[in-house]
Structure 1
Amino acid sequence: MINFEVNICTILQRPNRGTVGKRKPKTNFVEVRTFWHLFRSFDRMWIFLILAFQAMVIVAWSPSGSPAAFFDEDVFKSVLSIFITSALLNFLQVTLDIILSWKAWGSLKYTQIFRYLLKFAVAAVWVVVLPIGYSSSVQNPTGLVKFFTNWAGDWRNQSFYNYAIAIYMIPNILAALLFMLPPLRKSMERSNMRIIVLFLWWAQASPKLYVGRGMHEDMFSLLKYTLFWILLLISKLAFSYYVEILPLIGPTKLIMGLRVGNYEWHEFFPNVNHNLGVVISIWAPIVLVYFMDTQIWYAIFSTIFGGIHGAFSHLGEIRTLGMLRTRFESVPRAFSKRLVPLSKDETTGRYLTRPYQRKDIAKFSEVWNEFINCMRAEDLISNRERGLLLVPYFSSETVIQWPPFLLASKIPIALDMAKDFKGRDADLFKKIGNDIYMLSAVTECYETFRDLLSYLLADEEDKLAVTKIFEIVDDRIKQNKLLSEFRMSELPELNSKLGKLLTFLKSDLEDEESYEAQIVNIIQDILEIITQDVMVNGDGILHRHDDTHNDKNKQKFAKLNLGFKNNKSWMEKVNRLHLLLTVKESAINVPINLEARRRMTFFTNSLFMTMPSAPKVRNMLSFRSVPLNPFF
């Protein structure tokens, strides 16, 4: 311990020698800020655009100026000069690789350094060989071409340049072949043969072992990707040729042929022939537009292809809450199709044609309600909005119970429609049935009200009287005599009393006797309204109930079952029925929060997208935990 403290003190008292010694190189990325990164990072794009521009200028400069002149022998030989330009640009790219990574050479392996130097040497060789080969194929050379021709000596053979081009293109042909054949590329990347390892070492600077090695797109995806860029580049080059380059060739030839003796202004290029200063000034904007309009064409084609692909992939089918309401009935089935694995006897085709199954609602409601509860926990929606958005966990067997925000104001509208309706029962039922949510709300309220009354009444004779009333209603509906034997104009009064009953049922139980007495009075009022006001011939039902009652002096419908307070299922039904009967305003603005709306539309829209079916959990491969780095 003493020696350790002595060493620390010695180090602290030692003078600063940070500037002495060799500087340790960087180990990873060394940033060199320069505009040459624009070329180095997108070298293939720049090389293609420059070569295409050179070829189009050569073809447009021909006497005819037509693209068909490309197949003329002299024009074709001139177009072959683009390979010399390609060699020069490739040499520039290799040189930039060396210069911009020079500070990191101290941490590179010798194989990586050797690769940089070898690529530089090969690029330099092609810069010399291709001009010599091209000059040997030109008849009556002049200027720089004549210099290379004299240097070539005995190589004056037209086929030499063609052979040089063929050899020069071999790496590009192999790269295109590997790009179009992903299985071959995958097998090569996984192979350990020395010749293949050497080839990959030359083709790519990344190490052989990296995350994602051997993982490539399928043939169809590559075909779509290639077709996209082929159409884009054809459109871009055609526009550039006919609109930008070809109209400027004639004026350029005219300007280069003019002889100007005296300039009114200062001559910027006094020693240049053929008015090249003027030519450069008129071609500079065209060249800039030529290089920059690629992004415009990309924006156009990406919009067109993206729209078509999105339509076929069902992207953005639900963009607003209004669209969500119209499509919500198909959401549970889409959920079961996309996120619930199919059984052995089900296929996708059979699944789409099978009838609507209630288990779809049951599975969907669990996830949907959890989604709504999460938004409430994040305070994106209020308690009232939460109640309007939840799907009942306990669904009825005869009617699909949708979220209340879809059924809001449906009951008041149906009551207004029925109380003044003049016509046949079938016409009224058809009018209500045209709105699937209105029909669902009416059916659910009727069945819930019937079940709730039967559950509240503890006396069996009282239950029989209520059951008799609803049997008469069901029978008249089947016989299409509902409008003739029931006064629809009294339904709003019945709805008001029922809303009052539900309000009491939802309230807290403080004084049980007073609480029970109030509920009994409301139930008696409801049954009197039904039998005396709504039903044309309903007076005898309660009278027969009095005659069959054992205790004549006992109050009717006075014995109640208040156990629903501790029953979650029944309290959920009470709250839901109260919402359906009392919410008169439209729930089109539910939820109000914009983020909650975005999440709802995104969640439902994702269910309609074309995506693989969900596998069973037991069939999923486990993901092994590996260190989070790009290498194995």
Structure 2
Amino acid sequence: MDIHIFYTVLSAIVGGIMGARARLGEIRSLEMVHKRFESFPEAFAKNLVSPQAKRMPFNRHASQDSQDTNKEYAAMFAPFWNDIIKSLREEDFISNREMDLLSIPSNTGSLRLVQWPLFLLSSKILLAVDLALDCKDTQADLWNRICRDEYMAYAVQECYYSVEKILHSLVDGEGRLWVERIFREINNSILEDSLLVTLSLKKLPQVVQKFTALTGLLIRDQPELAKGAANALFQLYEVVTHDLMSADLREQLDTWNIVARARNEGRLFSTIQWPTDSEIKEQVKRLHLLLTVKDNAANIPKNLEARRRLQFFTNSLFMDMPQAKPVSEIIPFSVFTPYYSETVLYSYSELRDENEDGISILFYLQKIFPDEWENFLERIGRGESTGDVDFQKNSGDTLELRFWASYRGQTLARTVRGMMYYRRALMLQSFLERRSLGVDDYSQTEFFTTQGFELSRESRAQADLKFTYVVSCQIYGQQKQRKDKEAADIALLLQRNEALRVAFIHTEESGAADGKASKEFYSKLVKADIHGKDQEIYSIKLPGDPKLGEGKPENQNHAIIFTRGEAIQTIDMNQDNYLEEALKMRNLLEEFQAKHGIRPPTILGVREHVFTGSVSSLAWFMSNQETSFVTLAQRVLANPLKVRMHYGHPDVFDRIFHITRGGISKASRVINISEDIFAGFNSTLRQGNVTHHEYIQVGKGRDVGLNQIALFEGKVAGGNGEQVLSRDVYRLGQLFDFFRMLSFYFTTVGYYLCTMMTVLTVYIFLYGRVYLAFSGLDSAIATEAKLLGNTALDAVLNAQFLVQIGVFTAVPMIMGFILELGLLKAVFSFVTMQLQLCSVFFTFSLGTKTHYFGRTILHGGAKYRATGRGFVVRHIKFAENYRLYSRSHFVKALEVALLLIVYIAYGYTRGGATSFILLTLSSWFLVISWLFAPYIFNPSGFEWQKTVEDFDDWTSWLLYRGGVGVKGDDSWESWWNEEQMHIQTLRGRILETILSLRFFMFQYGIVYKLHLTGKDTSLAIYGFSWVVLIGIVMIFKIFTFSPKKSDNFLEKYVNFKLFMRFMQGVTALGLIAAVCLVVAFTNLSIADLFASILAFIPTGWAMLCLAITWKKVVWSLGLWDSVREFARMYDAGMGVIIFAPIAFLSWFPFISTFQSRLLFNQAFSRGLEISLILAGNKANVDA
């Protein structure tokens, strides 16, 4: 355990240093994006633009003596940046206005400076005008004040040059002469440092107002407004000539014969040349926004996800990555996604259907993503008041709504959209490279644009040669036959994405020679034809049913033949991708050619961003834990430890290497339940090299409810238990050197062994203390340890407690926060996590991992657990939580609580209460966490009405008799039978028997501590306690006995029931009288009665465990029904112990309010209406 602790701390430090060296976290905020935006084009051109595309053609009429490198870089950067912004708009993360403000001009026109996005220049002109109005110094002083804000200087220069160019394009004749004269005079005064003399800056606001009126007409692109524009231009002329210019210059202009004659004759600015040139149109629109936009740049974009994506993308531009090759020269690659029967696309009815609380998926999404909902309505041209009826009337809008909702869940539609960004990125890159070579007609146009690049046949062909996306929908054929909605939705995705391919297993019935029907299996690949129907591309006859092992790896194995290229990226169906990350795929593929040690890379590890941690505290904990693993932890595993494996998606495999060495998935049943990591084992054993790269990332969905998280962690823990038993781990341990072997151990199965040791430490400590308390040695040992100064036990417990509450789990998180968010935000996040009871969550998680890992080691048989990927902000019923956690947490927690109570009663307490509390604090914390975490983290877990409903549901489940076909969710008996299924082997039964014997220690120790027995330590006392126990069991049998059914059952039953009630009453009265007499006339005290309960409860549980372990023997003796009723009584008792505190706390309304704040602080801090979701929407609907 100590080595594990040292490894955790050192790996966090080393990972943080390596991340800093890799320049992660340099851009942590939108403010940093603003400050460093000027350097983005050069960094982008250096890394992401191929040498072929760097020969970008500029406007042939541009000034050839201008060698402004920044402008050239900006011209290369602009089309890519604008397409990224466009994709954000298509995904509804930004509004139309934000898209205009974030877009960057093409920078290929004749303007003499770099044009930056308007969000950097917003309000800068208005601020500059205010500075000019307040100026009482020289021209140089004014300019210096403006230049303190770099982007204000850019805005002033661009505004000046744009006004000159636009006015020059609008007029001819005398008007053009006037424009040229005005700007010549201003330029001369700037050179002579006499601008403040030439111009009356107090009149600048009037000039801005008049010019804004002019551009406001021009941007409407309606030539019939030319007369109004001419009038606005004449008013501008009047203001400039008579107000802005100095008296001397004004007199010169008034007496200028050519202009004066035209003005007197009414010809001056009577007509204008309406802008038709694309470059002028763009400048007019941009200048109008530059003069009118007053938005705060710090709030653009407003959406947090859009900010995060832009921050990571711009930060990655400065990280080390290979130079991108032209699209025609990159390695062809495929993306591969296994799919079974998960949600493809939400139907309209699914979005509108309400749960028991009156909450629909659409209502939930509207409240969680309010800004994205508004942007969606704006994109489809609807107002905020759009109702359900309006959507139903328009099938196109209904389909858009379905996709909008599906893109915010963990659906196949979201994954397909994200992966198809690879094709879009390749088309854009190929299109620009072809233009740079002048092979397209577009390359000779004056104004640079990428509009319509998706329609370029050459670019599409190039992208299709280099990229293939195969989704292996294993049962797609069966879904089509059953006409499931999933099949229709997959067909819709095929129609909308022409490069998408679907592989599936097709089954055909065929007649054999002997007359018996047989099945033939085919592996098929289809795409959508021009009519939207499935078009078969390949059909491969298989020798038999391919599904022999685990479903998911078999799903991958049958379809991998349909992938193409030299690389293959494995993507799960709850992942996402982004256009800006897809642009970096060319760089990542070049890593196969880079030097990463002695051997070339065979698996390229890719960073993940967990996108499901934005609402609840649980999702945030899981997101942070997962993020620290897929970033910092894997960074260290890859280098310097060289023990990174394949932990899942989205790694990129060397396809040729792996398909010739066993494939990318191991599918043996049970042993390969965690199929992903065996691909890493396989690659490493065959002298492969696994690397990790963090300049590119892919989105990943994670489980967001406690039950989902527990099932996922149970699956992973069980998978690690199977790894312990596998030959792959044995071979790696034999082949690694000592240091690499230790690194591998503590980052795979060793982590779970240490986790189990953490829990076992508590058990061993408490059982040891209880044994010492029973034996009477506790006092002597404690005194001797105090005299000798022996603190070894305290040190072990301190380490155990720190591991238990997740301190060392949090160390990598904190380092990751510091690296990517900054020190202050890291401290704030850590404190917030503690206040939201993350230690309770981590302690509970400890129990989950220990239970499933230990069970797999003892009995084997780990199984895949479907976790579900829906939206979880709903109340989980008490019975459902009890079923899931009863054996993994509740039983173990009550055992620890029993040990603590016994230690309180009989342990050595001379050190005082404080010493005892400090010694057992971690154990009590573990008990509370394991018993009540499912209810603390359960939405509305302490709401009185929910509590009452939960109790009714639990009692009906507990008392419902099972039967054939009855599920465990409906009946306690069915669930109880299912819980015993893991005990199958003789080895398992023997181990369970040995472990169950520990419960007999309670009875053996306590009976000799009773006042009744005094100092008598003979074995007869222990024997008499068994007689009492047998008597209690017989009494229990009398109270729970029921006759078997027969032909005349009803008559006999009525008579027998009357007799049994009489016997039960007599027995109860006799029992009460006997206890009173024994207390009155013997040394038995009231305390002894409670002590006896403490003794007999563990003994009864031990007998129950042994009976379940040796079920066949008990069944043959005819005692199984009694055992079942005995077990029902124990479950009822455990349920009452857990339920009572919950019911008590539910009486106080403020507890429920506090819990909601605790669970959903993330949502409250974002101003989301989470209370509406928790309370339900029925009241609103009724109103």
Larger radius of gyration: 1
Instruction: Name whichever structure is richer in helix by fraction.
Output: 1
Higher RCO, 1 vs 2 (CA within 8 Å, ≥6 residues apart): 1
TM-score of the aligned structures, taking structure 2 as reference length: 0.27
Instruction: Name whichever structure is richer in strand by fraction.
Output: 2
